[in-house]
Structure 1
């Protein structure tokens, strides 16, 4: 589980969320720029979680989507690593 939680994409998304939360502490009004920043953070978090899920699925031998970072050669590499560990 630690290997999935310490991915750079997730750490970046969490750090960005903390930064946005700190920005809400100030008495500044909520503007369209703030809304875009939160939207961007949500998209970044969703992509990071999706990459972790795809990598986990590939390691377990399941098929992943073609646009995933774990597809193609990477998926085959992860599958062979899993088969070596189980043997």
Structure 2
């Protein structure tokens, strides 16, 4: 579980969210650029979580979508898990 929670994608999405929260607390008005930044952060977070879920499913020999970043590595991930 530690490998999933401390993955670089998830950590970068969380730190990006913290940065956005700090800027939201300032006295600047909410503009369309701010809205796009929040939308971008939401998409980044969703992709990072999806990648974690796909990796976990691949290691447990379950089906994952063909557009997943770990789609070609299923056998290798399963072998690594079975070694442990």
Q: TM-score range by the shorter chain?
A: over 0.9
Report the TM-score, using the length of structure 2 for normalisation: 0.95
Partner Cα separation in structure 1 for residue 5 and residue 83 of structure 2 = 24
Q: Secondary structure of the residue that 1:43 maps to in structure 2?
A: helix
Tell me the CA shift for residue 83 of structure 1. Answer: 2.3
Aligned Cα RMSD in Å?
Answer: 0.8
Structure 1 gaps of 5+ residues are none
Q: Deviations over 1:10-54 (max 9, x none)?
A: 000000000000001111100000000000000000000000000
Report the TM-score, using the length of structure 1 for normalisation: 0.92
Corresponding pairs, count: 84
